[in-house]
Amino acid sequence: MIDKDVTKAFEELKKKCQKLQDKVHVGKYIGTSKYEMMVRLLDNVKESIEKVDTWTNAGEFGASDDEIWRANVDVEALEGMLQALDSSK
């Protein structure tokens, strides 16, 4: 059962990452004081996705679940930054 849960969470993480990537690289965020940090967080999430992809293919669902959790912390931080920037304009 954990493999199905991990697979579902992984798919959700990839979708969130794509949406955030599309949003971060829009002109209104480029040049803001938080842009470099947002790109760094996005890069961290992409690295996590690569790790999880490797691990799930190897059947290492426990490590994958932990990494998905960690990546979601970065996703939440990035979403918070975007929301703060949107509300300040």
pTM for the predicted model, two decimal places: 0.90
The secondary structure of the chain as a DSSP string is -HHHHHHHHHHHHHHHHHHHHHHHTSTTTTTSTTHHHHHHHHHHHHHHHHHHHHHHHTT-HHHHHHHHHHHHHHHHHHHHHHHHHHHT-
- Asked whether 24 and 82 are in contact (CB, 8 A), the reply is yes
Q: How many domains does the chain have?
A: 1
Q: What is the pLDDT of residues 61-87, one digit of tens each?
A: 999 999 999 999 999 999 999 999 888
Provide the residue range defining the domain that includes 51: 2-87
Q: What percent of the chain has pLDDT over 70?
A: 98
